[in-house]
Amino acid sequence: MSSPITAQMVADLREKTGAGLLDCKKALTEANGNVEEAITILRKKGAASAAKKAERATKEGLIESYIHVGGKVGVMIEVNCETDFVARNDDFKVFVKDLCLQIAAASPLYVSRTEVPEADLQKERDIAAAQVQGKPPAAIQKIVEGKLEKYFSTVCLLDQPFVKQPEKTIQEILTQKIATIGENLQVRRFIRYQVGQ
């Protein structure tokens, strides 16, 4: 027997996920009122929606900058979207500003894994393999892969935990924004300056 879906349940789910009211109601109905299951359903639909939009051109967007208090760290980022309407949207602007703060705080080197030079990856693999000498080859492979994942979460912006919601990565937040805003969004590039580096 499913529990009745109340307007308050829909509103609470919308507050938690940022999804539309109708999507929240459908997810709650599909999950028979189970909020956690409804969140999972919405996340899956958001990821599928983002995947569909990934091929769409992003020729609009914002260039945002941030100078940390004291002027010792500065960040400049370009985030693209499909239309100038979204580029003027407050939710989009806040997201781009949050990315600047993330870069200032967490010091990533690259936007995504595809930008990491193969030489750097090989160096990390060699270091990780040297640290686990004497273990079975299958174990070494798993340990090296685990250490590479940790490396990516340090140097790649999209793999980093979001400083405002550490349980989610920047990529998960980006996917959620694509589903909520309804357009393809792309972090194009950034640069981080720090005095003395």
Average pLDDT over residues 183-192: 92
Q: Which of 16, 38, 17 is nearest to 27 (CA)?
A: 38
Please tell me the predicted confidence (pLDDT) of residue 134: 80
Average pLDDT over residues 106-135: 89
- Looking at domain 60-112+156-194, what is its CATH homologous superfamily? Elongation factor Ts, dimerisation domain (3.30.479.20)
Answer CATH for 7-53 from 3.50.50.60, 1.10.8.10, 1.10.10.10, 3.30.930.10: 1.10.8.10
Range in 87-101, 138-152, 153-167 the model is least confident about = 138-152
What lies within 8 Å, CB to CB, of 40 at 6+ separation is 31
Helix (H) or strand (E) holding 80: strand 73-81
**Extents of the domains making up the chain:** 7-53, 60-112+156-194, 117-154
Question: Residue 169: pLDDT band by 50, 70, 90 thresholds?
Answer: very high
Q: How far is Cα 23 from Cα 134, in angstroms, rounded to an integer?
A: 52
The pTM score is 0.69
Range in 28-32, 130-134, 142-146, 173-177 the model is least confident about = 130-134
Express each pLDDT in 20-66 by its tens digit: 667 778 888 888 888 888 878 777 776 555 555 556 667 889 999 99
Give the CA count within 13 Å in the CB-facing half-sphere of 178: 29
